[in-house]
Chains A and B, each alone.
Chain A
């Protein structure tokens, strides 16, 4: 249909403007339904207007008036926008980033900077290859770079981080068509890629530069989850909350991540149902195992505070693009990720499973969306 290609236009009323514009809108209109969608509001089509002889008897009334914009209703629009959402997510990651720098030194800053820069450069290159306008302003590439960096071990070589970042943007996002079309969370996909290619470097951890570990001259450390899995040692909660443990750059401090996450939830830039169902499932399911066999399994609070769960639940599972759009779908998504996580943590060969649990549920998102379509108003379903 023709309307599809129509766009918002400047229409000049007055003797010159009247007739061509009338021609445009003489399509039969029933119930006022048929309207031109505002496809590309950024292209103001100020077309040259011919000056036909006045046909309308009211032309004598016409005065050259102001140029008025014609658009299809609604004429009001929210002040939210994609860049605003994306940059808010970046802002929400600041506390975690600050804690990462505090614990792991200025090298962290170089790692984060390199990952973000690599993400942006890759995005630009992909934009050019696809022959489209630059999309780095929307902020999504910066988030991917930042999130990826925050999930990396402190001792990982910068070059590996850069490779992961390039993979995240190119294969994780742009190859699907860019923002909004990717199936998997790009940052997690990049991390999974690094895990597969640098298995040793990706599982080698260092202790934070704090007094507690100053006496220990071991080069490598164990994460609390690994300590529990292999040695049944439970880290103390205070260290888990503040982040004074071995682990990925931005994941160690549960509190810093939580502060940013709560900001996102308050701004409604993240669906609260996903972290609630994800964390809740882990708490309940992990708690059940602990209740029946406290010696073999860690307690539920330890589950929540350790590893990358907070960061994953608040910033990665809530990624709008790769999580369901329906309310019921959000609950299922979070609960599913929680179940997968507990199974991996308790029975899997690796200590941590946040990444795989979210990636797995990402794959199910289209199916979840399909089977959780809400009943529309007044629908009677058999």
Chain B
């Protein structure tokens, strides 16, 4: 008790013991990478390279001049073999740049980092983050430079570093805090300089006592302005709105953004990437991925290049067990199921989870018995059972009235439903339909 948290939510088994004690391993530079142009929310970049062209590590290969977008970089030194449609881990086919390795050692093309970031201008820093192609590494992949450029009328007075990692199984952020906490806090300082705020919180769930300890130590030694906040373990605490409520007790208005309550939240991995870009001039070409689950021979935390096929990671983890029946990217609550192990790691890939059993496959679905479990766990205080039946019956007006667009798709409702009704899945369908019909009305 006692520890701060948000209202409602669920307590799934966290399954983190597979990898939370394993140091991050650097995966050798892969033979080939597939780099999608679209790895973020917003506009996809244009291709800047052609087939046959030599590229260096860190070279920009896709970029758009639109604001809500992020460039992508070559993550290895090699030759462009193709620019074509390949399968994306989100289940769509997307344009990717296929690069084959030609050099064992990286030849870098870095971005122009300032000699001392503390004296650099805010514009330069923000521009650097854009150049480095940094997006939210927690899973949403929203371009970071956009998040760090709130409109003038929104005064930002609080920054929260999100080290919650509330999804079961994932330990990438946990290990990053343990092993790279120092650099991460430099990243956090840079972000806070850009935002012009002094209040920095680091939210960590209580199931990572070692991370809380290390962060506390670092903070007391070098960053006395920051405050580490241990949180009660609960899903979906890593969601921005929930985390803000837990730490600073502010409620983001419906349909609003964290900046409406003067707050910005970034993932710990994002802060790390910011430090890499601003201090070392390295664009975002690698990230930490947790490969875990009962279905993989040797679970690991791996530092991998963006674009590495899933298969390469799995091979380095001893391969998929024969008994594995499900593989998904991201956590078990919001992750995307995969059927082709050639899909590449993208910026938003926090983990690859291999399961030996499926909780929902072949499970019988019963009618809704109005038990209200979904209502009692919904962190957004919605009525999931109503919303899902509105979506099923295409009653869009009612769905909107009941706040369907506020759903954050955390999946808590589907998780607790004793009837095994695909609640959040229907709500996703409904959200899409409601926003489409709204768009039509405007047009």
> Which residue of A is nearest B425, CB measured?
A37
Tell me which residues from 338 to 376 in chain B have a Cβ below 8 Å from any Cβ of chain A.
338-342, 353, 355, 358-373, 375-376
CB distance from A29 to the nearest CB of B (A): 5
> Which residue of B is nearest A12, CB measured?
B339
**Cβ A4 vs Cβ B328 within 8 A:** no
- With A1-B433, A69-B361, A181-B367 known to touch, is A378 a contact of B422 (CB < 8 Å)? no
Give which listed residue, A34, A44, A85, contacts B432 with CB less than 8 A.
Answer: A34
**Cβ A67 vs Cβ B325 within 8 A:** yes
Cβ of A18 < 8 Å from any Cβ of B?
yes
Chain A interface: which of B118-126, B177-185, B212-220, B412-420? B412-420
Give which listed residue, B90, B92, B385, B422, contacts A39 with CB less than 8 A.
Answer: B422
List, in ascending order, chain A residues with CB within 8 A of B332's CB. 73-76
> Tally of A-B residue pairs with Cβ under 8 A?
244
Cβ of A40 < 8 Å from any Cβ of B?
yes
CB distance from A340 to the nearest CB of B (A): 21
- With A85-B418, A378-B252, A378-B256 known to touch, is A34 a contact of B369 (CB < 8 Å)? no
List, in ascending order, chain B residues with CB within 8 A of A69's CB. 325-326, 337, 358, 361
**Cβ B429 vs Cβ A4 within 8 A:** yes
Chain A interface: which of B81-89, B146-154, B282-290? B81-89
CA distance A215 to B38 in the complex (A): 89
Cβ of A211 < 8 Å from any Cβ of B?
no
**Cβ B336 vs Cβ A32 within 8 A:** yes
Chain A interface: which of B225-233, B272-280, B296-304, B401-409? B401-409
List, in ascending order, chain A residues with CB within 8 A of B353's CB. 75
Cβ of B3 < 8 Å from any Cβ of A?
no
Chain B interface: which of A220-228, A241-249, A319-327? A319-327
List, in ascending order, chain A residues with CB within 8 A of B336's CB. 32, 73
Cβ of B248 < 8 Å from any Cβ of A?
no
> Which residue of B is nearest A381, CB measured?
B254
List, in ascending order, chain B residues with CB within 8 A of A38's CB. 360, 422, 425
Among B339, B342, B411, B424, residue most surrounded by chain A Cβ atoms (within 10 Å):
B339
Give which listed residue, B309, B338, B425, B431, contacts A72 with CB less than 8 A.
Answer: B425
Interface flags, A28-45, vs B, CB<8A=1, else 0? 111111111111111010
CA distance A58 to B12 in the complex (A): 37
**Cβ A70 vs Cβ B339 within 8 A:** yes
**Cβ A373 vs Cβ B383 within 8 A:** yes
> Which residue of A is nearest B374, CB measured?
A325
List, in ascending order, chain A residues with CB within 8 A of B91's CB. 25, 29
**Cβ B93 vs Cβ A180 within 8 A:** no
Tell me which residues from 369 to 393 in chain B have a Cβ below 8 Å from any Cβ of chain A.
369-373, 375-376, 379-383, 385, 392
CB distance from A300 to the nearest CB of B (A): 29
CB distance from B87 to the nearest CB of A (A): 6
- With A80-B418, A376-B254, A377-B254 known to touch, is A321 a contact of B369 (CB < 8 Å)? yes
- With A18-B340, A68-B326, A75-B335 known to touch, is A41 a contact of B432 (CB < 8 Å)? no
> Which residue of A is nearest B408, CB measured?
A377
CB distance from B385 to the nearest CB of A (A): 7
**Cβ A74 vs Cβ B92 within 8 A:** no
**Cβ B432 vs Cβ A72 within 8 A:** no
Give which listed residue, A58, A68, A179, A325, contacts B337 with CB less than 8 A.
Answer: A68
CA distance A30 to B432 in the complex (A): 9
**Cβ B337 vs Cβ A70 within 8 A:** yes
> Which residue of A is nearest B87, CB measured?
A22
Cβ of B251 < 8 Å from any Cβ of A?
yes
Cβ of B324 < 8 Å from any Cβ of A?
yes
**Cβ B337 vs Cβ A34 within 8 A:** no
**Cβ A180 vs Cβ B326 within 8 A:** no
CB distance from B173 to the nearest CB of A (A): 19
CB distance from B321 to the nearest CB of A (A): 9
CA distance A77 to B251 in the complex (A): 29
**Cβ A320 vs Cβ B372 within 8 A:** yes
**Cβ B403 vs Cβ A379 within 8 A:** yes
CB distance from A179 to the nearest CB of B (A): 5
Tell me which residues from 187 to 214 in chain A have a Cβ below 8 Å from any Cβ of chain B.
none
- The B contact surface, by secondary structure, is loop
Among B86, B416, B432, residue most surrounded by chain A Cβ atoms (within 10 Å):
B432
CA distance A33 to B375 in the complex (A): 21
CB distance from A152 to the nearest CB of B (A): 25
CB distance from A75 to the nearest CB of B (A): 4
CA distance A44 to B363 in the complex (A): 11
Tell me which residues from 321 to 374 in chain A have a Cβ below 8 Å from any Cβ of chain B.
321-327, 330, 373-374
> Which residue of A is nearest B88, CB measured?
A29
CA distance A37 to B432 in the complex (A): 13
**Cβ A75 vs Cβ B366 within 8 A:** no
Tell me which residues from 232 to 289 in chain A have a Cβ below 8 Å from any Cβ of chain B.
271
**Cβ A73 vs Cβ B335 within 8 A:** yes
Give which listed residue, B82, B367, B403, B429, contacts A376 with CB less than 8 A.
Answer: B403
**Cβ B84 vs Cβ A76 within 8 A:** no
CB distance from A356 to the nearest CB of B (A): 22
CB distance from A273 to the nearest CB of B (A): 10
List, in ascending order, chain A residues with CB within 8 A of B381's CB. 374-377, 379
Interface flags, A64-98, vs B, CB<8A=1, else 0? 01111111111111101110110000000000000
Cβ of A61 < 8 Å from any Cβ of B?
yes
Cβ of A107 < 8 Å from any Cβ of B?
no
**Cβ A8 vs Cβ B361 within 8 A:** yes
List, in ascending order, chain B residues with CB within 8 A of A127's CB. none
Cβ of A172 < 8 Å from any Cβ of B?
no
Cβ of A312 < 8 Å from any Cβ of B?
no
Cβ of A178 < 8 Å from any Cβ of B?
yes
**Cβ A42 vs Cβ B364 within 8 A:** yes
**Cβ A178 vs Cβ B428 within 8 A:** no
CA distance A27 to B91 in the complex (A): 9
Give which listed residue, B252, B333, B370, contacts A76 with CB less than 8 A.
Answer: B333
**Cβ B402 vs Cβ A379 within 8 A:** no
> Which residue of B is nearest A21, CB measured?
B339
CB distance from B195 to the nearest CB of A (A): 22
- With A42-B363, A61-B309 known to touch, is A378 a contact of B254 (CB < 8 Å)? yes
> Which residue of B is nearest A380, CB measured?
B253
**Cβ A323 vs Cβ B370 within 8 A:** yes
Among all A-B residue pairs, the 7 with the closest Cβ atoms: A74-B411, A37-B425, A180-B367, A325-B372, A77-B359, A25-B91, A378-B254
A interface with B by C-beta (< 8 Å):
1, 3-4, 8, 11-13, 17-18, 21-22, 25-42, 44, 56-58, 61-62, 65-78, 80-82, 84-85, 138, 177-181, 271, 320-327, 330, 373-380
Known: A58-B34, A73-B424. 15 other contacts (CB 8 A): A28-B92, A61-B311, A66-B320, A72-B422, A74-B333, A75-B337, A82-B369, A82-B419, A85-B371, A138-B366, A271-B372, A377-B252, A378-B253, A379-B254, A379-B406
